Structure formats: C-alpha cells, structure tokens
A = this chain, B = another copy of it.
Amino acid sequence: MPVKVAINGYGTIGKRVADAVIKQDDMKIVGVAKTKPNYEAKMALAKGYALYASNKDSLAKFDKAGVKVRGTLDDLLKECEIVIDCTPEESGYKPVYEKANIKGIWQGGEEHSLTNLSFNAAVNYSECYGASYVRVPSCNTTGLIRTLHPLESSFGIESVLAVMVRRATDPYDSKKGPINAIEPELEMPSHHGPDVQSVLKTLNIHTIAVKVPTTIMHLHAISVKLKRTATPKDVLDVWSRSPRIKFVRGEDGVKSTAQIMEVARDMSRNRSDLYEIAVWEDGVHVVNDKQLYYFQAVHQESDVVPENIDAIRAMMKLEKDGKKSIEKTDRSLGITG
C-alpha cells in the first residue's frame, strides 16, 4: 500500500513535490491544501489533485470564487500518514500535525530547531530513518551540501568561503525586485553557513550572500581549503560519483545560468526543472595543491524536490538504504547523473 502523502501549501515547492510523489510507486498524494483560489489552485484541480482549503477563511474564498474543494486542511490531515509542509516560513503548523498524529516534513524556511533533524539524502538518510519530524534545508544550503560533502569525505576540508550570488525572486513573481541594483546581506555570516552545519556538523564554513536582479538560479563562487592535495580532475571524479551533481561547460556555450536553464528545458523535464546542482567543469581550479575554487548554480525551485521524496521514504521506512532510495527517486525524475 503506497504511503498517503498530503501537501500543505501548494506553491513553488509544494506543487513540485506533489508531481514528484505521483511518479513514485511507494507513495501517493491524497490531497493538497491551498490558501487562495488562484490559477495554481485551478491547475491543481486540472491535474487531478484533491484540493482542500487551508482553513475556514480560505474556504470562504474558494466558495466565492466557485472553486470546488473537498474540505479544509483538517479534513485532509485525516486522510494522510505524512504531510509535506510547504507553507511560508514560521506558519506554525507543527502542533496541528502533532494533534493529527501524522509525520511532517518542513522546508528550509524553517529553523533547524523546529525538528532538530535536517535532512540530506546523501549525508544522513539513516539518521532520519523512521523519524517523525524532519526539515529539508533550503535550496542554497542543499546546493552547498551536495558538493561539499563529497569533498569533505574524500579530501578533508580545512575551511570554506562561499559567496552566494542570489536570484532575487522566483520566475512566477512580478512584485519583487530589485530591477537594477545589487544588495549585499550585511549580517555575517549569512544564515546559510550555520544551516549547512545543521547537516555537516563539523564543517568550518563562512557564507556571504548578495542579491541580484535575476529570477532563474542562484550562483555560488566557492573557495575551499582542502586538507589533502587534489587536482581539478580528482575533484571532478569525486563529484561524478556523487548524487545530483551535473557538469556543464563554458566551452560548450554554457556560459551563464541562462544556458543552464536552457539545457534543463532541452531535457524535457517537468516544468523545465533542474534537480541537480550544476557545476562548471571548466570553472574548477586548484591553486597551490589544496586551495580549490569552483562555481555552481542552483535551481532554487527544484533542487530540494528529490530530497523531499527521499525524506518521505526514510521517515516512512519504505527503504532502509539511502543509496537505493536516491537511485529510485532519480530514476523516476529522469536524473541520470
């Protein structure tokens, strides 16, 4: 019997996790909850998802807009075994899930302390096996973990400085800017550093964040002081054996995040998503044997999607071996490595 999954918050992440769940044979979507009867709600219905209003107030809006729902979140929670919470940060649903006696997964907008368990399939799958509450760190944090964990395992890491050049908002949004400015995050380290440490506990990392006028991807310029010497080829070899990393090459004309997203579209993936972290093969440099520099790009809308699937599988004890779960998830989403 497939595990019954609910989605609370059918937005950028929620709708993607829903579409990923229905591609698995060991889980299914029993419904999605949404606050507003907007175009995304209508698309949810068009896709065949059972739609629920987030609460009584929402319900009234759906009724007024003539958009049929099955009930409210409370009704939905009765139908499911686990809920993926993709609501805005600090929405505070934990007590509700506890009361409903169901497991829950949160996204990176929440603090690690909400669950005390932050998940990355390649790092701590077994630690989350059977857990009730788990958090999948944010897109940027997940991106850093994906490439840093293999480096740490293979070469040891003295220290990391990651400068994150962040997209300012998602493609669907037309309200937020800036249109023509660069905005540094003046507090330091940015929250990403400690967030990476919620998974890679002992990593010595400092993060700096800068916001720029683009919507499609984040770009990270990363400086890693390795403990053991490595060549660029060594590093690329390690990454080629690690999950959810995709190489791109400036030489092939992939010179910016624009062309990376074009590659993703050419792969005919759902919503033109790129679940992998893109690393420029010809942007990997090692200076003085141990000082590594590289660039990576993060598709903020989708890189955490496969992690959510694996988290469900771990928490619901559908698969004991993290590697097998990763492979199963990746196969279903067309991630070929």
| Chain A interface (Cβ < 8 Å from any Cβ of B) | 15, 19, 36-40, 42-43, 47, 161, 163, 165, 167-169, 171-184, 186, 188, 206, 208, 210-217, 219, 221, 223, 248-250, 252-259, 261-263, 265-268, 270-272, 280, 282-283, 285, 287, 293, 295, 297
Contacts and interface: CB of A to CB of B under 8 A. Distances in A.
B219 A258 contact: no
Given A176-B177, A262-B172, A165 B188 contact: no
Given A213-B214, A253-B39, A177 B188 contact: no
Given A163-B163, A165-B210, A186-B250, A181 B39 contact: no
Contact of A177 (B174, B267, B295): B174
A295 B210 CA distance: 10
Nearest to A272: B272
Given A161-B161, A174-B181, A214-B212, A39 B252 contact: yes
Contacts of A211: 256
A180 B268 contact: no
Nearest to A178: B174
Given A165-B210, A267-B43, A270-B268, A181 B257 contact: yes
Complex copy number for this chain? 4
B175 A261 contact: no
A174 B183 contact: yes
A221 B254 contact: no
Contacts of A167: 182
A302 to B, nearest CB: 11
B210 A179 contact: no
